[in-house]
Amino acid sequence: MEEILFFAAALGALGGAIGVIGLRNPFYSVLALVVHLFSLAVLFLLLSSAFVAAAQVVVYAGAVVVLYVFVVAYVGGGEESAWEPIPGQRLLAPLFAAALFVELALAVLGSSLAALGTEGPKVGAGFGDPAAIGYLLLEKFLIPFEASSILLLLAAVGAVVLASRREAAPSEHPAESVQGPSSNGDGPSGRPSSEEVPAPR
C-alpha cells in the first residue's frame, strides 16, 4: 500500500514538474505546479510529517499559487521567442540537468550512510504533528522563527514598494521619456490619475 502511494505521488510530482517546464502557457504551468505540490504533500505524509504536509497545501497550494494565478492573469501569457543568446542552450540544458541528477544521486547514495537503505527508525504517533513542531518552533527555534517573521514582513513591504502604482521614477529615468508617448497613447488618464490618487490617501 505504501509503495503504491509512493509511486503514485512520485509520478504526480515528476509529472507536475515536467508540466511546469514543458507547457507553453504559463497559466497551465501554474496548474501543473498545483499537481506537483499536492503530490509532494502526499510524500510528506508518507514520511510521517503531517504538519509540513498541511503547511505545504495551505501555504503553497493555497496562497502562493493564487498569487501566481493573479500575476499570470495580469501580465498575460506572452509567447517566448526562439532566440538564444547562448547558442545551443536548449540542447545543453537537458544534458546539464542529467549530469546534475546523476551527480546528486551519486553523492547521496555513495555517502555510505547506513540508514539510507532503511525506512528510518520507528517513531511514535506524535512524530511531526503540529504539537511537536509547534513546541520546536517556539522553544528551540524561537530566534529563527522570529527572524523568518521579520523576513516575511520585509518581503511584504518590499513587494508593496515594488508594485506600487505611484511610478516613483518618472524623472530619474531617461527611458521614461521614451516610454512617455506610448503610455500616454495607451491610457491618457493613467498618468494624471496616478498623481492625483495618492494625494487624498
Partner 1 sequence: MTIEWYIVLSSLLFAVGAMGILIRRSPVVILLCLELMLNAGNLALVAFSRMVGNQEGQVFALVVMVIAACEVVVGLGLIVAIFRRRLPLNVDDLRELRG
Shortest Cβ 166–partner 1 spacing (Å): 11
Query: Under the criterion CB under 8 A, does residue 188 sit at the interface with partner 1?
Result: no
43 is an interface residue for partner 1 by CB under 8 A: yes
Site for partner 1 in 12-41 (CB under 8 A): 13-14, 17-18, 20-21, 26, 29-30, 33, 36-37, 40
Distance between CA 132 and CA 134 in Å, rounded? 5
Q: CA Rg, the chain, in Å?
A: 24
* The only residue of 177, 179, 184, 193 in contact with partner 1, by rule CB under 8 A: 179
Q: Is 190 strand, coil or helix? A: helix
Contact status, residue 61 vs residue 38, Cβ threshold 8 Å: yes
Interacting positions 57-76 with partner 1 (CB under 8 A): 59-60, 63-64, 67-68, 71-72, 74-75
- Cα angle value 17/28/44 (rounded, 5°): 35
| Smallest distance, partner 1 to C-beta of residue 201, A | 18
Q: Which of 8, 62, 100, 197 forms a contact with partner 1 (CB under 8 A)?
A: 100
- Grid cell digits, residue 139: 522553544
Q: Is the dihedral of CA 164, 167, 173, 175 positive or negative?
A: positive
Q: Judged by CB under 8 A, does residue 166 bind partner 1?
A: no
